């Protein structure tokens, strides 16, 4: 039974809302950057803190500067329209440059999704050297980075009706992830993307991503929007995805599901609410989307066939985990799902073996629920440079949350878990 809205040609165009762009109507929080740039707090001395959810804004010349021969004129480029930098491929609009609320002067924009153009934002959002400087100021050793703009949105790429161009755009993005990792000495780790509209292309690019050393791949939570789902019409694992799962299972390359849109948040929000009323609810519903994706994997049989599969639920939050697992245990028992489907583990066991979750703004979960969730399952993130990011005051936040835990637990949460999930080399 189909249950998903199909991908559209304008998916990329709507990736970041025009309504949320620009400082007008927002609030500039003045930041004492020097006071908040004290590096690593003594509590975390000897720990290489890994920030597990950040975004690297695609540089304006990313695709034009790296275009294959004869394709430069076709590549994504930035056009400034009414003061706002916008991505275009030919005459097709691919949306804004993404969420960037950290200004060039280090102040922070509240109440909006982003400043309008590259001239306004912190160069650390899109350039390696200033990014490393920003990380040092925050006391962060390494970051896991996700896309920011919508250029790699698969639905919009397919709508170009130029498959060689769509493949080149995808590969240039993945190559840039590998290049930044090398340039930064392994500190900046971008997650790859796939041309998941075609099985053979997807399998080939997944193999290439692993070969060039990219530390993980972002998968769509509902691939059936464009191609085929993870479960086939017969209820078994879809052959479309088997080779991808096999490669990830064999190599330990993790799957990343980032603040999932598996739930249509807009369908749950009342009509006639304003922008600033809708956005907080929208974000919270996406956390439940991560829980839904986790549950889908648990009941699908995929985790039984691929026992080494590692899945990061990113920008997920963590406080929902104990309730959700308890509820899943009850519901699966009442509906005899495990018996009917031959599932080999309980939801709690699947979670312990396959999943990691992340916190940033939360206090309750990492201070009072860590033993229930599992100290080996918790990741830390800042979400830099997005709205609601932990900027400034990263170290102060960590001291207030992890200061009560012993040193071994601090190191586990801030370093070891990320190294285990993403196979980081330091």
Asked whether the beta carbons of 314 and 358 are under 8 A apart, the reply is yes
* pLDDT surpasses 90 at 215: yes
Q: How many CA atoms lie within 13 A of 185 on its CB side?
A: 5
Q: Are strands 84-89 and 92-96 parallel, antiparallel or unpaired?
A: antiparallel
pTM for the model stands at 0.96
* Residue 264 or residue 66, greater confidence: 66
**pLDDT per residue over 377-390, tens digit each?**
999 999 999 999 99
Tell me what the mean pLDDT of segment 293-305 comes to: 98
Tell me what the mean pLDDT of segment 76-82 comes to: 97
Percent of the chain clearing pLDDT 70 (strictly above):
98
Q: How far apart are CA 238 and CA 148, in angstroms?
A: 29
Asked whether the beta carbons of 375 and 412 are under 8 A apart, the reply is yes
* Residue 6 or residue 72, greater confidence: 72
**pLDDT per residue over 184-204, tens digit each?**
999 999 999 999 999 999 999
Question: Quick one: pLDDT at residue 10?
Answer: 77
* pLDDT surpasses 70 at 2: no
Percent of the chain clearing pLDDT 90 (strictly above):
88
Domains of the chain: 28-71+126-422 (3.20.20.140)
> What is the overall mean pLDDT for the chain?
95
């Amino acid at each position: 039974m189909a249950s998903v809205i199909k991908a559209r040609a304008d998916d990329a165009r709507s990736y970041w809302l025009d309504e949320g762009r620009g400082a007008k109507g927002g609030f500039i929080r003045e930041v004492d950057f020097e006071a908040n740039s004290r590096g690593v707090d003594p509590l975390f001395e000897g720990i290489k803190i890994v920030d597990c959810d950040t975004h690297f804004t695609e540089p304006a010349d990313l695709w034009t500067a790296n275009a294959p021969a004869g394709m430069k004129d076709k590549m994504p480029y930035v056009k400034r329209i009414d003061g706002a930098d916008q991505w275009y491929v030919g005459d097709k609009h691919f949306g804004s440059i993404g969420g960037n609320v950290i200004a060039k002067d280090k102040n922070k924009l509240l109440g909006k999704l982003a400043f309008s153009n590259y001239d306004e934002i912190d160069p650390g959002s899109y350039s390696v050297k200033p990014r490393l400087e920003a990380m040092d100021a925050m006391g962060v050793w390494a970051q896991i980075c996700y896309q920011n703009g919508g250029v790699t949105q698969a639905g919009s790429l397919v709508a170009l009706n130029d498959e060689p161009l769509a493949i080149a755009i995808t590969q240039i993005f993945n190559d840039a992830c590998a290049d930044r990792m090398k340039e930064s000495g392994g500190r900046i780790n971008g997650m790859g993307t796939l041309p998941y509209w075609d099985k053979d292309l997807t399998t080939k690019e997944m193999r290439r991503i692993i070969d060039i050393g990219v530390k993980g791949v972002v998968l769509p939570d509902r691939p059936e929007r464009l191609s085929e789902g993870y479960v086939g019409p017969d209820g078994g694992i879809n052959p479309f995805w088997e080779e991808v799962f096999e490669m990830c299972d064999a190599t330990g390359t993790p799957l990343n599901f980032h603040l999932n849109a598996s739930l249509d948040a807009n369908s749950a929000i009342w009509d006639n609410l304003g922008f600033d009323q809708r956005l907080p609810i929208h974000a919270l519903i996406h956390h439940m989307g991560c829980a839904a994706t986790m549950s889908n994997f648990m009941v699908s049989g995929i985790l039984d066939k691929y026992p080494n599969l590692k899945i990061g639920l990113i920008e997920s939050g963590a406080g929902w985990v104990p309730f959700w697992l308890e509820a899943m245990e009850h519901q699966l028992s009442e509906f005899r799902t495990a018996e009917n489907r031959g599932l080999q583990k309980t939801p709690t066991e699947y979670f312990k073996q396959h999943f990691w979750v992340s916190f940033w703004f939360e206090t309750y979960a990492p201070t009072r629920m860590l033993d229930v969730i599992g100290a080996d399952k918790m990741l830390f993130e800042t979400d830099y440079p997005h709205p609601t990011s932990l900027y400034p005051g990263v170290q102060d936040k960590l001291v207030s949350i992890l200061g009560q835990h012993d040193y071994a637990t601090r190191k586990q949460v801030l370093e070891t878990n990320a190294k285990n999930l993403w196979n980081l080399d330091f």
